[in-house]
């Protein structure tokens, strides 16, 4: 709970989260539980002495790659559809309950699983079961987006994409039974890996009508954000933090109505930005760049799930009600769910804003 005057509004806003890695919701406690259940040996490193020791190490990340070493070491405990279901349901129910998340588009790393003999269909099956339960229990919709991994060879990514395509796992709207993959993403280590290397795969995805997004400009320069637009046909940009260094690029993002899926807490934890105030959210608003606010890997970043991130952002920036209305509406419009679902969340947003204005005008009138 934050102490800002808009806390009630921030809680009530219907939210869409677009930048959340399923594997990034694996808590140290669940990691140890699954390691035991699945008979997976954890690294022989003092950091893995206990969940508390691991938590303490997570509080001291020095860079994206330092974090990714732990994140990639953690994924190996995930083996069965039930594991993925447990992870996805815990996230979706928590997001809906504590942050009023109404729609979530969840990333996962297929290559991190197939390399260990865990099929993409296993992840999809677990996620599907979780999404059905979360929809019934909490009225939250969910889609799944695979991210190709930049730390592995491009040929490996191409083979992974081809296999998902051949298995018929993609769907333009992410709908289907089980719900299919709603788009294609790109993540992992960034420096010295310009987006152009993955252009062929993303062109093949575009040719199939598959939506595209890419992590860009997190540690990499603004040119990598431009590269994601130029070479990958990215319709969204994940992070995009360094786009702020190029005003022409900001103007382009605004003109093309590209949604930036900002992760301000992640940027501070991974030392992309010195503090929340240094993240470019106000610069985006000034330049007309649309963005959503997201939690990225909350189990690794101090358990800052979406409500905590919204509150931290407000404590840093003191945005106005109109700013938040624009952020919430941009998040709805930039979502990849169907138009009917977007309209439904949009009506909820209208109602929340109407109620907020009625209540605050009443307060002002009573005080006058
Ligand atoms: O923030 C991130 N950046 C790049 N790769 C990732 N994989 C999980 N989280 C991230
Ligand atoms: Zn990310």
Q: What is the pLDDT of residues 151-203, one digit of tens each?
A: 999 999 999 999 999 999 998 666 666 567 999 999 999 999 999 999 999 99
Report which protein residue has its CA nearest ligand 1's atom 10.
Answer: 188
DSSP letter string, 70-132: HHHHHGGG--SHHHHHHHHHHHHHHHHHHH-EEEEEEEE-HHHHHTTT--HHHHHHHHHHHHH
**Contact (CB, 8 A) for 84 and 122:** yes
Q: Contact at 8 Å (CB) between 110 and 78?
A: no
Q: Report how far ligand 2's centroid is from the alpha carbon of 302 (Å).
A: 15
**Residue 105 known to be catalytic:** no
In the predicted model, what is the mean pLDDT of residues 264-276? Answer: 98
Within 6 Å (CB) of ligand 1, which residues are found? 21, 24, 64, 71, 187-188, 215, 218, 266, 296-297
Q: Which of 218, 308, 333, 354 is catalytic?
A: 218
**Which residue has the CA at smallest separation from atom 1 of ligand 1?**
296
pLDDT of residue 180: 78
Ligand that comes closest to the CA of residue 188: 1
Q: Ligand 1 atom 5: the closest Cα is on which residue?
A: 188
* pTM for the whole structure: 0.97
Mean per-residue pLDDT over the chain, rounded:
96
CB neighbours of 135 closer than 8 A, spacing ≥ 6? 141, 142
Q: Is residue 355 within 8 Å of residue 11, measured between CB atoms? A: no
Say if residue 362's pLDDT is above 80: no
Residue 21: closest CA among 60, 59, 61, 72: 72
Element (H, E) at 20: strand 15-21
Neighbouring residues of the ion ligand 2, judged by CB less than 5 Å? 296
What are 71-128's pLDDT values in tens digits?
A: 999 999 999 999 999 999 999 999 999 999 999 999 999 999 999 999 999 999 999 9
Average of per-residue pLDDT across 4-17: 97
Q: Using the predicted structure, report yes or no on whether residue 351 has a pLDDT greater than 80.
A: yes
Which pLDDT does position 174 carry in this prediction?
62
Nearest CA-CA partner of 57 in 254, 221, 301, 238: 301
Residues of the chain above pLDDT 70, percent: 96
Nearest residue to 127 via CA among 111, 145, 139, 153: 145
Which ligand 1 atom sits nearest the alpha carbon of residue 21? 8
Q: Is 19 annotated as a binding residue?
A: yes
Residue 296 assigned as binding residue: yes
What per-residue confidence (pLDDT) applies to 175? 65
pLDDT at residue 54 is higher than 80: yes
């Amino acid at each position: 709970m934050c102490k800002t005057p808009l806390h009630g509004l921030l809680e009530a806003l219907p939210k869409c989260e677009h930048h959340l890695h399923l594997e990034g919701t694996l808590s140290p406690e669940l990691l140890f539980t699954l390691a035991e259940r699945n008979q997976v040996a954890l690294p022989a490193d003092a950091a893995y002495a206990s969940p508390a020791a691991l938590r303490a190490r997570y509080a001291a990340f020095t860079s994206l790659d330092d974090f990714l070493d732990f994140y990639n070491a953690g994924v190996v405990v995930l083996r069965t559809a039930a594991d993925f279901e447990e992870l996805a349901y815990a996230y979706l129910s928590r997001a809906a309950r504590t942050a009023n998340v109404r729609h979530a588009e969840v990333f996962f790393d297929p290559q991190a699983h197939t390399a260990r003999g865990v099929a993409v269909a296993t992840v999809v099956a677990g996620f599907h079961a979780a999404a059905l339960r979360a929809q019934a229990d909490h009225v939250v919709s969910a889609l799944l987006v695979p991210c190709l991994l930049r730390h592995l060879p491009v040929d490996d990514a191409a083979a992974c994409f081809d296999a998902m395509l051949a298995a018929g796992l993609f769907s333009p709207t992410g709908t289907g039974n089980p719900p299919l993959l709603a788009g294609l993403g790109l993540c992992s280590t960034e420096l010295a890996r310009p987006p152009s290397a993955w252009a062929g795969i993303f062109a093949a995805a575009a040719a199939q009508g598959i939506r595209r997004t890419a992590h860009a400009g997190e540690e990499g320069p603004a040119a990598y954000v431009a590269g994601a637009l130029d070479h990958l046909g990215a319709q969204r940009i994940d992070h995009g933090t360094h786009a702020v260094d190029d005003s022409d690029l900001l103007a382009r993002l605004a003109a093309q109505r590209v949604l930036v899926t900002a992760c301000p807490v992640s940027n501070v934890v991974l030392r992309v930005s010195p503090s929340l105030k240094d993240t470019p959210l106000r610069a985006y608003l000034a330049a007309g760049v649309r963005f959503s606010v997201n939690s990225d890997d909350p189990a690794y970043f101090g358990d800052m799930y979406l409500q905590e991130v919204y509150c931290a952002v407000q404590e840093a920036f003191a945005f106005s009600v109109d700013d938040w209305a624009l952020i919430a509406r941009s998040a709805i419009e930039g979502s990849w769910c169907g138009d009917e679902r977007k309209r439904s969340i949009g009506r909820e947003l209208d109602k929340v804003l109407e109620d907020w204005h009625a209540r605050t005008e009443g307060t002002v009138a009573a005080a006058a």
